[in-house]
Chain A
């Protein structure tokens, strides 16, 4: 709570997550600056997704503070963190497969809707007004990520790249301040990666901070302003892409110790 300065949207302070005897995240601290792209990299099993889960409330951290916009949200339930303004996508796509693309995004709007049980039951004027508004907003999100033509198709029938985009649209529909992307470029062709980076830039232009996990170094180096590196649950480096690229420990973590 000490670092509530205006430039930081998310601050991790000594976050630890243990599963039984296994320490998945060990004393990790860093600040995510507002309005930039921050990347988290590291070898498989380094604890990146676990850290995401600690931030979004899927797991409560064993110790440490997760300070979002000046409030410690460690241990807050996922639907609450979404309400506070943290949205996420998943490493292995988790769409509502048998709902249309549009309905997927509408579920994202859920958290910003005001209709109560009463309104839903009797379809009050508030309900009709809000449903119209949500349909427009959801459609706008689909347009934003460029898949509006698939609005009425089941999510599972979308092409792989479109599914990744739909996940982003759904997350954006929650009107987040901070967007967590878990390996958004996984399985993408070089062309798709370029398009994804353009999309990330558009999201930044909207004033939303992007915090991403990514394996593809080109994407990470080009898209992000700051990078933190995780290995075996520990933060081993943090800095600008250039600093990280030349960091000895990072090179060792990825390529092994050189002779």
Chain B
């Protein structure tokens, strides 16, 4: 009970509790409300979980270490392609002549390490750049990576523009299938990674998110996390205090990238397809918006930002045209739905407004809560006081 009382005023603790309970009851609630027909919502949530993972990872780079990364989707791509090559028939046509069917659970961590290595590789030559210049280089990297996978000369490895399809699905090891299969303990009848029941995917992504949150949270509250903050606040002073800024920034890049390696492998497995078109610039920007909207530098903030933005982008906005035309029909203005030469019909009209609405939501949130939905204590302060309030006037004029 002490734990509860201690944390009852800590917004982060409350956020974690709500998120965890929400994640646990979401699939049951969906089943209860709509039965199997709501399974697509569970699937959607699992896809959203991929973005939650990436927001957690990008938050390390942008929020903790203060390095603006505009090409984060590149690491997502690298994670996905790693899984695609390791867990499909793809490599049979490559010079290796063997299809590697590496089990998902191993490939997941291979993806993690490859993405981390790519992060370090990108970081090594570029981290001497600061601010906007780093952002431009990462932007370039984000464009180069999908193009690299598209390269026809690598057709044998990556299938070029077609991408890699028919990826392996994860299988639970035999010793774990026991209790699930039995009639008495069957909590969920088809707890298998199949394309028509998404609960298993959902559970898996929730577990991956929990794992990543624990890891990143531990890092934040360590020597390394403090060094990240110090580098973000004042790189020169951090170096003078003995912080090896190059290593520290490389670690931020590598660790941030590794989380999206996780996300990439999961996404590839769930979709059973990896194609270069999945990793466009818009993905990088969406993830960055999630982090900023949620509250930079705060893990639960990034998670909430990702959930909110994902729900808006992939649920509410696509559903809006139908919903709006339904409403006007109900209040007797059904004529608005009629298509005329000058009027595309209300549903189509709303559909065309999608990006404006998305923009308005972003701008509106940033105007009302510039610090993000759930900011870190620090960021809330930063934005509350824009100017120096200590008496600095006398500091600069000794003669």
Contacts and interface: CB of A to CB of B under 8 A. Distances in A.
Does chain A bind chain B?
Answer: yes
If over half of B's interface residues share one DSSP class (helix, strand or loop), that class is named, otherwise mixed; here it is helix
A106 B378 contact: no
Contacts of A160: 390-392, 394-395
10 contacts: A78-B240, A94-B236, A99-B230, A110-B230, A115-B222, A115-B223, A120-B219, A120-B224, A122-B218, A183-B398
A95 B237 CA distance: 7
B233 interface: yes
Contact of B227 (A95, A110, A170): A110
A256 B230 CA distance: 43
Contacts of B274: none
A98 B234 CA distance: 10
A6 B196 CA distance: 79
Interface residues on B, range: 35 or more
Nearest to B238: A107
A215 B237 contact: no
A154 interface: yes
B266 to A, nearest CB: 21
Interface stretch (B33-41, B83-91, B127-135, B243-251): B243-251
Given A79-B242, A87-B241, A99-B378, 8 more contacts: A79-B244, A98-B233, A117-B251, A120-B225, A160-B392, A170-B241, A215-B398, A216-B398
A120 B218 contact: yes
B381 interface: yes
B20 interface: no
B395 A187 contact: yes
A129 interface: no
B25 interface: no
Contacts of A130: 223
Given A79-B242, A83-B242, A121-B218, A110 B226 contact: yes
Nearest to B390: A160
Contacts of A131: 222
B328 interface: no
Contact of A158 (B237, B239, B390): B390
Contacts of B234: 94-97
B382 interface: yes
A111 interface: yes
B127 to A, nearest CB: 14
B330 interface: no
A186 B390 contact: no
A211 B399 CA distance: 20
Interface in A105-129: 106-108, 110-111, 113, 115, 117, 119-123, 127
B229 interface: yes
A82 interface: yes
Nearest to A185: B398
Given A96-B229, A98-B381, A103-B229, A157 B239 contact: no
Contacts of B238: 96, 107
Given A103-B226, A120-B219, A120-B223, A98 B398 contact: no
Q: Which of A79, A95, A122 has the most CB of B within 10 A?
A: A79
Q: Which 6 A-B pairs have the closest CB atoms?
A: A111-B242, A82-B242, A120-B222, A96-B233, A187-B394, A94-B237
A108 B237 contact: no
Interface string B31-62: 00000000000000000000000000000000
Contacts of A79: 239, 241-245
B240 A159 contact: no
Interface of B: 215, 218-219, 222-227, 229-230, 233-234, 236-245, 251, 378, 381-382, 388-392, 394-399
A56 interface: yes
Contacts of B396: 92, 186-187
A96 B237 contact: yes
B224 A156 contact: no
Given A97-B233, A103-B226, A122-B218, A111 B390 contact: no
B242 A90 contact: no
Contacts of A215: 398-399
A58 interface: yes
Nearest to B397: A187
A163 interface: yes
B391 A110 contact: no
A71 interface: no
Contacts of B397: 187
Contacts of A120: 218-219, 222-225
A25 B244 CA distance: 27
B219 A99 contact: no
Nearest to B220: A120
Interface in A170-209: 170-171, 173-174, 183, 185-187
Nearest to A84: B242
A169 B391 CA distance: 20
Contacts of A173: 241
A58 B219 contact: no
A77 interface: yes
Contacts of A187: 394-398
A122 B211 CA distance: 11
Interface in A36-78: 44, 56, 58, 77-78
A235 interface: no
Contacts of A82: 239-242
Given A94-B236, A174-B241, A154 B398 contact: no
A140 interface: no
A163 B398 contact: no
Nearest to A154: B381
A88 interface: yes
A120 B382 CA distance: 27
A183 B229 CA distance: 26
B245 to A, nearest CB: 7
Contacts of B242: 79, 82-83, 108, 110-111, 174
